[in-house]
Structure formats: structure tokens, C-alpha cells
Amino acid sequence: MRNTAKLLVLPLAIGALLVGCGSDDSSDDTSSTTTNQTEQPAGGSNTGGDSSNAGKAQVLALAADPSGALAYEETELSANAGKVTVDFTNDSPVAHDAVFNDADGNEVGRTPVITGESTVAEFEVKPGDYTFYCSLPGHEEAGMKGTLTVK
């Protein structure tokens, strides 16, 4: 009887792992521009014009200065028009976020405020210049800002 129970539990456990790990259901997508703790490839921006990437978001890496200084490691980012995923890392002991505004000052994307972790923000961009900055009091004024150029 014990061996039969083991044989029944093993396929159920494997099935649960496959469903939990392999699901790519985007039906729970809301109007929010922020998604926490999503793994994205590391590295700089992906602005390739390869047609195999059509419809996929370009991944832009942005990191806060890990020493705790009020600065981003990158102050210039570039992308092609379309969907962008900003992979924001803050390994510093100071809380930071990243807010993206278009040329008219309208917010188009934002990450949550984080400390010692990574997060992502996904949003659409059109050609033009965008600003990004940390919205915590005094951080932008101290120089924690940059430019995203979209072609």
C-alpha cells in the first residue's frame, strides 16, 4: 500500500511544479506599470532591430549607486520606440525608485521604492527624450536623474 501511495504522490508533485513554474499566464495583468521581483536578463539596453524580437519588450538595465550615494550608475539610456522593461537594481542601503516622464512631464512608468533588491517597470515609449529620476525627497535635486532617448 505504501508504494502505491508514493507512486500517486510523485506525479502530483511533478505536475504541481510544472504548473507553478511554467505558467506564463498574463491574464492577471492590470493597468499598473510596475511588476515586482520579475527576473530579467542582466546587462545594458537591448535595442536590437532583429525581427525575431518583434513584440517583445526591450530590457534596459538601471542601477542605483551601491555605495548609498544619491546617484544612478547610468545617466543615459536609449531604446527604440515600443514596449520597454526597465530592470532596476538597488543594492544600496538607501531606498530609491525610478520614475520616467515624457517631454511634457507626464509620468509614463515607475518602479516601487526598494532597498537591497531588484524590480522592473514596463511601459510604452514613443520617439523622443524622457527623463528619469528618484522621487524620494531631495534625491533628484542631489543629481539622481538621467535621460532616456527613444529613437
CATH number of the domain that 117 lies in?
2.60.40.420
How do residues 26-74 score in pLDDT, each as one tens digit? 333 333 333 333 333 333 433 333 444 556 889 999 999 999 999 999 9
Q: Give me the number of domains the chain comprises.
A: 1
> Which pLDDT value is given to residue 55?
67
> Which pLDDT value is given to residue 23?
39
> Which pLDDT value is given to residue 70?
97
Residue 62 lies in a domain: yes
Residue 12 lies in a domain: no
Residue 73 lies in a domain: yes
Residue 27 lies in a domain: no
Burial code (b: 16+ CB inside 10 Å, e: under 16) for 10-40 equals eeeeeeeeeeeeeeeeeeeeeeebbbeeeeb
Residue 22 lies in a domain: no
Residue 114 lies in a domain: yes
Residue 25 lies in a domain: no
Residue 104 lies in a domain: yes
Sign of the torsion angle spanned by Cα atoms 39, 42, 47, 53: negative
Please state the φ and ψ torsions of residue 79, each to the nearest 5 degrees: -155, 165
Q: List the domain range (segments joined by +) for residue 113.
A: 33-46+56-150
Average pLDDT score, the chain: 76
